[in-house]
Amino acid sequence: MPLETEAKAQVRALLADLRPGHGDLLAALHRVQHEFGYLSGDAIEVTAQQLGLFPAHVYGVITYYAEFRLEPPARVDIRWCSGPACRARNGGGIRDAILATLGCAMDGMTADGRAGVRLGQCNGTCELAPQVWVEERATHTNAIVGGLTAARAVRLARALRDGATAAAVLADSTITGGAIVGDALPDTVTAGATHA
Ligand code: FES
């Protein structure tokens, strides 16, 4: 029997308290993706074993939901809000500016993986439209940049593309414009926020 890899053992430990069957499958997938940033082949295999499911079934569920990824994420993702309030305030122009600056398509990333752009849904903070949120896995950063313009969106994408950290970008008022920057979770978005 092949030795268990460290990653497989980690996934097994993460899911140890879940019940076999379909009932806990989404919870399992969210846990694994939160820990590793994506769902690898090994993770799918171990998840299926732990829950007593076929790997093909687990794979089918992963591909059904847009929030799950099968590839490692970018170092920093710009999540673009596709909701109506953001679109009404030039969200489309902001999206196009980010894509052109990063040189990739929606849900893609730069060739070196430094920066990516992902489709987001309205998170209920429409008063901050148009907005993107900056997600950096390594530092657990997930912050809104609201009241964005296309010009500042270009600066944001360019800085991340060139290797700036999320913290550096969020501290740069020529990028945020002094607009609200807070936690992307709606219930905490106003904590410590400042208005332009
Ligand atoms: S439409 Fe963008 S946050 Fe609601």
- Domain interval for residue 139: 76-188
Q: What DSSP character marks residue 109? A: B
The model's confidence at residue 3, banded by pLDDT at 50, 70 and 90, is low
- Span 108-121, pLDDT tens digits: 999 999 999 999 99
* pLDDT above 90 (res 92): yes
Question: How does residue 191 score in pLDDT terms, banded at 50, 70 and 90?
Answer: very low
- pLDDT computed for residue 77 by the predictor: 95
**Looking at the 3D structure of the chain, how many domains does it have?**
2
Hey, CA dihedral for 40, 42, 43, 49, is it positive or negative? positive
What is the per-residue pLDDT for 183? 62
Whether the per-residue pLDDT at 70 is higher than 70: the answer is yes
Q: Are residues 132 and 176 in the same domain?
A: yes
Taking the C-alpha atoms of residue 182 and residue 93, their distance in angstroms, rounded to an integer, is: 23
Please tell me the distance from the alpha carbon of residue 10 to that of residue 15, in angstroms, as a whole number.
9
Same domain, 170 and 82: yes
pTM: 0.77
Give the position, in ligand 1's atom list, of the atom nearest the Cα of 124: 4
Domain boundary among 64, 91, 109: 64
What residue ranges line ligand 1, CB within 6 angstroms?
81, 83-86, 122-123, 125-126, 129, 131
Ligand 1 atom with minimal separation from the 84 CA:
1
Within this chain, do residues 169 and 96 fall inside the same structural domain, yes or no? yes
Residue 69 lies in a domain: no
Do 174 and 109 have their domain in common? Answer: yes
Q: Give the Å distance between the CA of 86 and the centre of ligand 1.
A: 5
From its phi and psi, is residue 95 left (phi > 0), alpha (psi between -120 and 50) or beta? alpha
Spatial separation of the C-alpha atoms in residues 17 and 24, rounded to whole Å: 10
